[in-house]
Amino acid sequence: MPIAYQDKTHTFQLDTANTSYIFRVYNDGYLFHEYWGRRLRPVDLTRLFKGCYSSSFNPNWPGAAGGMDSLDLLPAEYPFYGSGDFRSPAVEAAFSDGSRLLNLTYVSHEILPAKPPLPGLPSLDGGDAALEVTLADTATGLTVVLSYTVYEDSDVITRHARIVNTTGEAVRVGRVLSASVDLPGINYDMIGQYGTHSRERQIDRVPLRHGMQAVESRRGASGHHSNPFLVLAAPDAGETAGEVYAAALIYSGNFLAAAEVDANNVTRLQIGLNPFDFSWKLEPGESFASPEAVLTYSAEGLGRMSRNFHRVFQGHLGRVKETKRPGPIVLNSWEATYFDFDEDKLRGIIQSCKGLGIDLFVLDDGWFGHRNDDTTSLGDWFVHRGKLPNGLKPVIDCCHENGMQFGLWLEPEMVSEDSELYRAHPDWVICKPGQPYCKGRNQLVLDLSRPEVVAYLKETIGRLLSENDIAYIKWDMNRNITDQYSLGLPADRQPELLHRYMLGLYDLLEDLTSRFPQVLFEGCSGGGGRFDAGMLYYMPQTWASDDSDAIERLKIQWGTSLIYPPRCMTAHVSAVPNHQLGRVTPLRTRALVAMSASFGYELDPTAFSKEERAEVAEQTAYYHAMGDLVAGGDFFRLVSPFEAKGNGEAEGAAWMFVSPDQSRAFAVYVQRLAVPAGPPRRLRLRGLDPQAVYRIDELGADFGGDELMYAGLALPNQAKDFEALRFTLTKKV
Ligand code: GLA
């Protein structure tokens, strides 16, 4: 049984293949977290917690036996405000008399064969067993339901909380985190992500200190600047060994992921909706559900942690389930033409894709309204007759005639002041009339907390998709939310705006993705400004960054792979000198980096030489043959692009994909900076069958799986910066 309840000790034990998560109903009903880590046989851990849980200035909890225990010292399963636990609570609520005091105690529980749905929010489906524990506030009757689901084979437990207003009066919820876990000890490195536009998902790894430390977003989107997940890793944990705890949130708006270490060296790991700029009024009978948190523990380092996330997302997260198959190889028009195109130019590009093995052509920004630069027309989703006098149809037909599908760029959540939509509905934007407001890329954000705005977008985009043969939509979002004020909400509900915006967006995406299941939606937000599990649920791949330089992409894609499957990132071969940095890298390197994700090109193919055309045709043929490993294989990070060893070795980066049956694999090594007369280097592979013999095509030789993993592969000396090597492995029978 993945979830067991022991009556005698009132203990819940949630087991996955390799882990256990244990909590208990303590004395008078308080939920007490006991353990999360390697799998344990059924166990009574009460003796671990005998001892002194009371000391000066740690107030004793009146409910505890003998009044001797302090909730400030005990490990909580879902800490609440007003209990004497001065650490960060998971939940806060204000009642009609102004009181914010809570006393949440156990009422009942239910073990379910599978998880109940989480309406209105993206979440994992299925699961091997689910648990709901109902708590109530002793004074007011406010109900809090804690939900858990176990995914045995990926070592994942999900959590979320639901508050039900059973008090008979209005309640204002100020904080409702999805998960909170008190772990023993301070000896962890906190790994989080930071970045900015074109430099997303860089990795921070710092030892925990006492006090509060967090990653968060306050931008109305998960953001380029942070990502909704947090890792606590043992200081010695690396890719292949060491203890790692990780939490991710299936949400695309403001989040908080925090670690708080108290004076007794207990570390409180929390994740959920950011309480900053948030509160929610619940009328009697109403309920509020938090987004879902995905928790995993790995005793085998960060590599296993990532594969746990990849497996559970590809197995259970909305449309990400479709990413177990390779996606189409695209050619995107953005870096080929920017805003400067007409029908003839597009025809030339499309026709020159013939014979290159490209599956789909994407018409990016500039095709609508009268948009010739980024100052106008967002919201006017009808064809720019100045550029395309005959509409989209001839362009779509031209794609089909040349053996490709057609895809289109949209930025539905935005509006330009110079647009018919804005002139008709100036009140549909997020801002306060009469007050100066910010613009980002010259545009304003539509107020998706308003049902009429969401209904309009459902209708407009639905019509575009019904009237045209569109196989793919790139859904962009090119600014964050400022001027957080909605004309659609009463004064006391203004702090609900940013979460209501997300609910409106999810409603819109749910509608469009279910009405148009044949359309592949790709997420984008100035590159990877909203690369999160919430968006992936509807749009299973995301343009990872507006930086298309292969060497910068090494870090961005490595960082992204910590949690998201490589197949969920899109990466394109772009022209050199690179448009963002001016760097010149070999076509081969650009392709090997891009094909380690959802593969495509973003350049003008009419400019290819004969040799380049032949090379591109070889690259797409390789991806058509091997892309199933990127999609459905296991991913192993080998050499980190974040490391510079400083020992005379050239700086590199390497990774590999292995088929689930270990019969096929491909590995990529990219040289960053070469060094003269550098020491010899070996690349040790991972994830292979040690007993098997593998043929490496590029070397024309056979190797033992054990040899490749334990002794390694001698890397040839590469004389030049940015060169790349590919190794294609096939198990010999
Ligand atoms: C954003 C995207 C780019 C491109 C442009 C178009 O920056 O990230 O890929 O689509 O918008 O304006």
Please give the full DSSP string across 56-67, using - where no structure is assigned: TTBPPPTTSGGG
More confident of the two residues 140 and 66: 140
Q: What is the Cα–Cα distance from 180 to 78, expressed in whole angstroms?
A: 6
Q: Which two tokens stand for residue 627?
A: 């892309």
**Which is nearest to 534 in space by CA: 320, 687, 731?**
320
Ligand 1 centroid – CA 128 distance (Å): 40
Query: Cα(14)–Cα(32) distance, rounded to whole angstroms?
Result: 14
Q: What is the per-residue pLDDT for 64?
A: 54
Is residue 233 scored above 60 in pLDDT?
yes
Cut 0.75: pTM above it: yes
Kindly give the number of the ligand 1 atom that is closest to the alpha carbon of 527: 8
pLDDT band at residue 59 under the 50/70/90 scheme:
confident
Answer whether 170's CB lies under 8 Å from 327's CB.
Answer: no
Using the predicted structure, report yes or no on whether residue 60 has a pLDDT greater than 90: no
Using CA positions, which residue lies closest to atom 7 of ligand 1?
Answer: 526
Q: Chain-centre distance of CA 545, in angstroms?
A: 14
Q: What is the mean pLDDT of residues 273-300?
A: 98
Contact 591, 585 (CB under 8 A): no
Ligand 1 midpoint to CA 531 (Å): 14
Tens-digit pLDDT profile for residues 622-632: 999 999 999 99
Q: Which two tokens stand for residue 714?
A: 């001698």
Res. 61: pLDDT tops 90: no
Kindly give the number of the ligand 1 atom that is closest to the alpha carbon of 409: 10
Look up residue 429 and give its two tokens: 């934007």
Q: At residue 18, does pLDDT exceed 70?
A: yes
Going from the Cα of 525 to the center of ligand 1, the distance in angstroms, rounded, reads: 8
**Atom 6 (ligand 1): residue with closest C-alpha?**
365
- E-strand stretches of 371-475: 405-410, 414-416, 443-445, 472-475
Asked if pLDDT for residue 185 goes beyond 80, the answer is yes
pLDDT band at 52 (very low <50, low <70, confident <90, very high): low
Mean pLDDT of 50-76: 74
Q: What is the rounded average pLDDT of the residues 403-419? A: 98
Confidence band (pLDDT; 50, 70, 90) for 13? very high
What is the mean predicted confidence (pLDDT) over 19-34? 92
Q: Which of 61, 104, 64 is nearest to 85 (CA)?
A: 61
CA of 367 from ligand 1 middle (Å) equals 13
Calculate the average pLDDT of the chain: 96
- pLDDT over 60 at 426, yes or no: yes
Q: Which of 199, 365, 443, 574 for a ligand 1 pocket mutation test, highest count of atoms within 8 Å of Cβ?
A: 365
pLDDT for 97-116, tens place per residue? Answer: 999 999 999 999 999 988 99
Q: What is the pLDDT of residues 632-649, one digit of tens each?
A: 999 999 999 998 777 777
Of 132, 234, 146, nearest to 188 by C-alpha is 234
Is residue 710 very low, low, confident or very high in pLDDT (cuts 50, 70, 90)? very high
Catalytic residue among 546, 547, 634, 721: 546
Nearest CA owner, ligand 1 atom 1: 526
In this predicted structure, the answer to whether residue 701 has a pLDDT above a threshold of 70 is: yes
> What pLDDT does residue 67 have?
55
pLDDT of the residue at 1:
84
The predicted pLDDT at position 173 comes to: 98
pLDDT at 40: 98
Residue 656 CA to ligand 1 center (angstroms) comes to 29
**Closest by CA position to 2, among listed 123, 115, 149:** 149
Ligand 1: residue of 364, 375, 408 to mutate (most ligand atoms within 8 A of CB) is 364
Sheet holding 19-26, edge to edge: 3-6, 11-15, 19-26, 30-38
- H-assigned helices in 38-95: none
Q: Which atom of ligand 1 is nearest to the CA of 374?
A: 12
Q: Which helix (H) or strand (E) holds 401?
A: helix 393-401
Residue nearest to atom 8 of ligand 1 (CA): 526
Both tokens assigned to 674: 């070469």
Q: What is the DSSP string of 330-363?
A: EEESHHHHTT---HHHHHHHHHHHTTTT--EEEE
Question: Residue 50 burial (CB < 10 Å; 0-12/13-18/19+)?
Answer: exposed
Q: In the beta sheet, which residues pair with residue 376?
A: 418
Residues in the chain: 733
> Which residues contact ligand 1 via a Cβ below 6 A?
334, 364-365, 409, 476, 478, 524, 526-527, 543, 546
What is the number of the ligand 1 atom nearest to the C-alpha of 364? 10
pLDDT of residue 605: 98
The torsion defined by the Cα of 563, 565, 570 and 571, in degrees rounded to 10, comes to 80
Minimal-distance CA residue to ligand 1 atom 4: 334
Mean pLDDT of 409-419: 98
What distance in Å separates the CA atoms of residue 635 and residue 239, rounded to the nearest whole number? 12
pLDDT at residue 449 in the model? 98
Q: Is residue 476 among the annotated active site residues? A: yes
Unique residue bearing structure tokens 């592949």:
520
* Mean per-residue pLDDT, 424-444: 96
Work out the average pLDDT over 143-161.
98
Cβ atoms < 10 Å from Cβ of 37: 16
Please indicate whether residue 492 is annotated as part of the active site.
no
For the CA of 602, the closest atom of ligand 1 is: 9
Which percentage of the chain shows pLDDT scores above 90? 91
Residue nearest to atom 12 of ligand 1 (CA): 365
Nearest CA residue ID for atom 2, ligand 1? 526
**Structure token digits, residue 424:** 């008709």
Rounded to the nearest whole angstrom, what is the distance from the C-alpha of residue 161 to the centroid of ligand 1? Answer: 36
Phi, psi of 314, deg, nearest 5 = -70, -20
The tens digit of pLDDT for each residue in 312-323 reads 999 999 999 999
392: closest CA among 418, 363, 413? 363
Task: Supply the DSSP string of 71-129, one letter for each residue.
Answer: TTTSPBSS-BTTSS--S--SEEEE-TTS-----EEEEEEEEESSPPP-TTS--B---SE
CA gap 213, 426 in Å, rounded: 41
pLDDT higher than threshold 60 for residue 476: yes
Distance 526 CA to ligand 1 centre (A): 5
Are the C-beta atoms of residues 52 and 37 closer than 8 Å to each other?
Answer: no
Residue 261 pLDDT more than 70? yes
The answer to whether 470 and 461 are in contact (CB under 8 A) is: no
Query: Which residue among 72, 155, 365, 476 is the active-site one?
Result: 476
C-alpha 539 to ligand 1 mean position (Å): 16
Region 338-358 average pLDDT: 98
pLDDT digits (tens, 9 = 90+) for 604-623: 999 999 999 999 999 999 99
Q: How remote is the CA of residue 121 from the centroid of ligand 1, in Å?
A: 27
Residues 474 and 407: beta-carbon distance below 8 Å: yes
